[in-house]
Amino acid sequence: MKRLLYFSLALILAGACKPASETETKHVIITGIDPSKKPGDDFFMYANSIWYDTVRIPAGQTGVGSYSFLNYPQRIRLRGILDSLSGSNSAAGSIEQKVGDFYASGMDTTAINKRGYEPIKPVLASIDAITNVSSLLKVATEEQKSGDASIIGFYVGPDDKHSTVNIAQFFQTGIGLPERDYYFKTDSSTLAIQKAYKEYLASLFELTGTDAATAKKNASITYDIEKQLATAHRTNIELRDVKANYNKISVAALSKKHLNLSWTTLLTDLGVKADSVNIGQPAYYDKLNAMLKSVSVNDWKIYLKANALTAYANFLSQPFTDASFQYTKVLTGQGVKKTRAEEMTQAVDRSIGHALAQLYVKKYFTAAAKKRMAVLVDNLKKAFEARVDRLEWMSDSTKAKAKEKLYAFTEKIGYPDKWRDYSNVEVKRDAYFENRLSANKNDYMYSLAKVGQPVDRTEWLNTPPTVTAYNNPPLNEIVFPAGILQSPYFDLLADDALNYGGIGMVIGHEITHSFDDQGAQYDKVGNVTNWWTKADYEKFKARTQQVIDQYNQFTVLDSVHVKGALTVGENTADIAGVAIAYDAFKLTEQGKDTTKLDGFTPDQRFFISIAKIWRVKTKDEYMRMYVNTNPHSPAMWRVNGPLMNFTPFYNAFNVQPGDKMYKPESERIVVW
């Protein structure tokens, strides 16, 4: 799961705590259930339709509800912190000064607009000075350090075969549309996106003084280069192949293979000292190497300018941000631009987010939440172990390995024990563009310093206020930032049924990612290695294929279906996450009881909670892009898909043959 006040803060589990007497336990009241709908026909709508049919998506947003959209109320909280600091005189170099001045610099639109495109002129001049392939690559690597990743996709991460050491890694890049298929589809919505993207590129060239005819020609040249590069891209489904993305090769061998790329010089210019690197998608670099010869240097210069302009457009004056938004409107359906304050809150979170996070957790995250989460995680692990023991399709030897991996997990809850250092980020109140680039350069150097070094297993990949959770297979860790530890996922005042159906399902989901189609290929220390018997792995693949086949049938919009092969990992984690959370819930006192609250049994409250945590409504344009690019199923199918495969749900709501969600027990998928 990688995962917001669009409506009142009566949010998702709308309701209040009942006044508590000495004999009455506080609990969150469930509201919004539509009794006119049968739970067994469409449980998502049974629990959410009253909200769904009345809520309006604000013009500045692409969706509303929980899930990743909960980051909207998070930004309101963060903005409150930033507003309080932006006018203060905090000590120079303090985190308060850096985040306050960074935010203030972005809010000063008068100064930003007055500068126009002046800040980017040195970048464009460096591109103009290119005379050959060698100088082209030099500029591309320099721009990489500032956040403009044009033709070289570079990051540093654990070596999949030696997970204790970081290695320089290269991945496919070079395109501006969301993914490669956007260049080749011919349906009306994709053609509209292609047109809007070309118009966006032309607008950016015009804003830097190019006449309209030349700007249109430059956009066409840029698009053609991107389309050529896209032919060598793997699809999002192909990118799920863990082993295919591991292609460790010596720099010497790579240099002989790609004469035009001059890898030894390129790595030196990037600052990388390494004898070997991983090339995630070799076909892309084969194609790039050939195109450095087949495409003229002048055309490459136009392409690099377009990349720089799109990379930095939102750091510049209003005409540039307006041009960026016009493209975004077509791509996602967003009606109007976000407020400047919201944009700048996101900018601070992205640029120096761990500094802002320190202030956030002091104000909003409690030790009690962390303590209760630890209990939940422990119970979910016990439940998963018990499920492994009961698996009929897995041998004892593989079960033993699975449990070893389970208990080798690292769990991170709330926020890190040590924080990122931003002392090298220079922040000035009157230099927004430079502040963004300084933060980008700091991120680059922070990553670069890891090459060849031991993996830091205390590092966090997300900022703690982010509403998300994740599993990181090379570190065999599950992470639950402070941002997700709030309603509807987690509430200290809620009964166990709601918390286990909420954050419990998320915990179970993240645990399962270590055992989904990708995670199952990593061992307990995070190396890609086979810990399965051959027979067990074949049975496992057969079950995940069932998941693919089932989700391929789910309709999203008109004739648009869920992409089962793209979403199989998340769907497997959803199916198992519900089951594990339910088993863990049954370890609690409420889970063993049948006493009703608000007219619902504990089991019914558990399942309603699952429906509430995925309560989302989005623009159709956004959903079309989401289905093409996101490995998660749309929210409705994150509810109905798992539940139609889970027998206790049938029992809780008396789901019968003839109900739309009904499946015979023999067809209900169980992976874990």
Per residue in 482-517, pLDDT (tens digit) is 999 999 999 998 999 999 999 999 999 999 999 999
Structure-token match 């998941």, residue found: 547
Give per-residue pLDDT as tens, 304-315: 999 999 999 999
Spell out the residues 6+ positions from residue 613 whose beta carbon is closer than 8 angstroms to its own: 12, 66, 67, 488, 489, 501, 502, 505, 506
Cα–Cα distances in angstroms (integers) from residue 529 to residues 99, 533, 654, in the given order: 43, 12, 44
How do beta strands 560-561 and 555-557 pair?
antiparallel
Kindly report, residue by residue over 208-225, the tens digit of the pLDDT: 999 999 999 999 999 999
What's the mean pLDDT in 608-617? Answer: 97
Lowest mean pLDDT among 8-12, 345-349, 622-626: 8-12
Residue 276, SS3 per DSSP = strand
Query: In the 8-state DSSP scheme, what is residue 413?
Result: E
| Domain residue spans of the chain | 43-78+344-667, 117-315
Average pLDDT over residues 285-290: 98
Residue-wise pLDDT for 309-350, tens only, equals: 999 999 999 999 999 999 999 999 999 999 999 999 999 999
Domain 117-315 top-level CATH class: mainly alpha
- CA 112 from chain centre, in angstroms, equals 30
Compute the distance between CA of residue 506 and CA of residue 490 in angstroms, rounded to an integer. 10
In this prediction, what percent of the chain has a pLDDT beyond 70? 96
Structure tokens at 57: 């998506």
* Model pLDDT for residues 558-576, shown as the tens digit of each residue: 889 999 999 999 999 999 9
pLDDT at 17: 32
What pLDDT, in 10s, does the model give residues 434-475?
999 999 999 999 999 999 999 999 999 999 999 999 999 999
Q: How far apart are CA 509 and CA 493, in angstroms?
A: 23
Q: What is the pLDDT of residue 26?
A: 58
Amino acid at 403: K
Of the candidates 456, 458, 364, the residue with the CA atom closest to the CA atom of residue 411:
458
Largest Cα–Cα separation, the chain: 81
Q: What is the dihedral of CA 266, 269, 270, 276, to 10 degrees?
A: 50
Give the helix/strand (H/E) hosting 157. Answer: strand 153-159
| Distance from C-alpha of 336 to C-alpha of 149, rounded to nearest angstrom | 28
Class of domain 43-78+344-667: alpha beta
- What Cα–Cα distance (Å) separates residue 542 from each residue in 236, 278, 609? 21, 30, 31
Helix (H/G/I), strand (E/B), else coil: 64: strand
**pLDDT band per the 50, 70, 90 thresholds, residue 630:** very high
* pLDDT at residue 23 is higher than 80: no
CB 662 within 8 A of CB 655: yes
Of the pLDDT bands very low, low, confident and very high (cuts 50, 70, 90), residue 90 is confident
Residue with tokens 């002046």: 118
Q: Return mean pLDDT, the chain.
A: 94
pLDDT exceeds cutoff 90 at 7: no
In the block, residue with structure tokens 């009241």? 29
Average pLDDT over residues 128-143: 98
Q: From 311, 344, 354, 342, select the one nearest 105 (Cα to Cα).
A: 344
How many other C-beta atoms are found inside a 10 Å radius of the C-beta of residue 557?
Answer: 13
With 0-12 / 13-18 / 19 or more C-beta atoms within 10 angstroms meaning exposed / middle / buried, residue 35 is exposed
Q: Are 586 and 257 in contact (CB under 8 A)?
A: no
Is residue 388 a contact partner of residue 394, using CB atoms and an 8 Å limit?
Answer: yes
Structure confidence at residue 73 as a pLDDT band (50, 70, 90): confident
Provide the token pair at 411: 């769990």
Confidence at residue 610, expressed as pLDDT on a 0 to 100 scale? 98
Q: Is 481 helix (H, G, I), strand (E, B) or coil?
A: strand
Give start and end residues of each alpha helix (H) in 333-460.
340-364, 367-390, 396-406, 432-448
Region of poorest pLDDT, from 64-68, 258-262, 470-474: 64-68
pLDDT over 80 at 282, yes or no: yes
Segment 171-191 mean pLDDT: 97
DSSP letter for 528, please.
B
Whole-number pLDDT of residue 72: 83
Q: How many residues does the chain have?
A: 672
Q: How confident is the model over 524-567, as pLDDT tens digits?
A: 999 999 999 999 999 999 999 999 999 999 999 988 999 999 99
Rg, C-alpha atoms of the chain: 26
pLDDT at residue 558, as a whole number: 86
pLDDT band, very low/low/confident/very high, at 2 (cuts 50, 70, 90): very low
List of residues 6+ apart from 302 with CB closer than 8 A = 218, 221, 222
User: Is pLDDT at 18 greater than 80 in this prediction?
Assistant: no
Q: Return the SS3 of 479.
A: strand
The amino acid occupying position 392 is: E
Helices (H), 20-70: 43-54
Tell me, what's the pLDDT at 144? 96
Q: What are 248's strand-pairing partners?
A: 278
CA separation for the pair 242, 161 (Å, rounded): 11
DSSP, collapsed to helix, strand or coil, labels residue 155 as strand
C-alpha to C-alpha distance for 13 and 362, rounded to whole angstroms: 25
* Separation CA 1–CA 232 (nearest Å): 28
| Residue 231: CA count within 13 A, CB half-sphere | 10
pLDDT at 88: 76
Per-residue HEC secondary structure of 207-265 comes to: HCCCCHHHHHHHHHHHHHHHHHHHCCCCCCCHHHCCHHHCCEEEHHHHHHHCCCCCHHH
